[in-house]
Amino acid sequence: MDGGRDAGAPIARAIERAGGEVRTGVGVDRLVMEGSRVAGVVAGGETIGARHVVVATSISPAQELLRPHVGDHPWFTPMLALPSTPSVTLQMELDGPVTDVDRTTFGPGTPLACFAEQSRTTFRHAPGRLSVILSPPERFLEMDPADVLATVCAEGRRVGLDLEGHVTGHRLVPLPRDFHSLEPGHLAFRPGQETPVPGLALAGDYTRQRFVATMEGAVISGRKAAAAVQSGLAASAGG
């Protein structure tokens, strides 16, 4: 994903210049607690100490990491009860672009909630690349990928997509618990980035900021989490 590298590589280099390390492909197993404070993480079997830990994930992994350590803390009770919703995306390689420009388009009245040609921008190595977000996701979570492809090809004709005979590869990405629920009443469940647990901050589109379930919201939450960490460091230095 060229777009991801273009945005992520300079950030990684800046972290490394400041003496930090960026590890990819390593999952966090659990948090490390020292009394009531978070003092690091265990990742790939290795304990990594830290004065501050930012849990920067979507809602479901955050709940899984936090529940064993703060499950009985009243501040976290709403956040740990915040429901999640699934998402299903079909990614297709094609023998050429399927739309005139790379942009996101909605497919009202079809299972194609939105779709985007990406071969001229993000996936420039591909002759054609279409990503489709499907709705309702529950319908497609357990469906065979070949059947999903057939459905998308058939329904795509209704929104002007000529897909049959042009697909060279495809993959289905079902995520049973991807976004926080946007149903009425759940706004109050969203936590702030600064927590009452020393050494712990939260980031993610589910945390409290003015956007919901978006990359923009995730970025804003990261900035707010960084501010919380800086505030905590300043308080520690002052104490």
Condensed to tens digits (0 to 9), the pLDDT of residues 86-111 reads: 999 999 999 999 999 999 999 999 99
Q: Are 74 and 85 in contact (CB under 8 A)?
A: no
Q: Please state the rounded mean pLDDT for residues 202-223.
A: 92
Tell whether the model's pLDDT for residue 131 goes beyond 80: yes
Domains defined for the chain, CATH in brackets: 2-83+182-238 (3.50.50.60), 84-180 (3.90.660.10)
Task: Tell me what the pLDDT averaged over the chain comes to.
Answer: 93
pLDDT value of position 1: 45
- Compute the distance between CA of residue 84 and CA of residue 59 in angstroms, rounded to an integer: 7
| Region of poorest pLDDT, from 27-31, 162-166, 209-213 | 209-213
Q: Alpha-carbon distance 26 to 236, whole Å?
A: 29
In this predicted model, what pLDDT tens digit does every residue of 180-198 receive, in sequence order?
888 899 989 999 999 999 9
CA distance 92 to 88: 13
Give pTM, 2 decimals. 0.83
* Distances 143 to 72, 148, 154, 211, 215 between C-alpha atoms, Å: 38, 7, 16, 31, 27
Helical H segments across 56-168, by residue range: 59-70, 77-81, 137-140, 145-156
pLDDT tens, residue by residue, 156-171: 999 999 999 999 999 9
Radius of gyration of the chain from its Cα atoms, rounded to whole angstroms: 21
More confident residue, 126 or 3: 126
The stretch 104-122 carries a mean pLDDT of: 94
Query: Which tokens go with 81?
Result: 């009860």
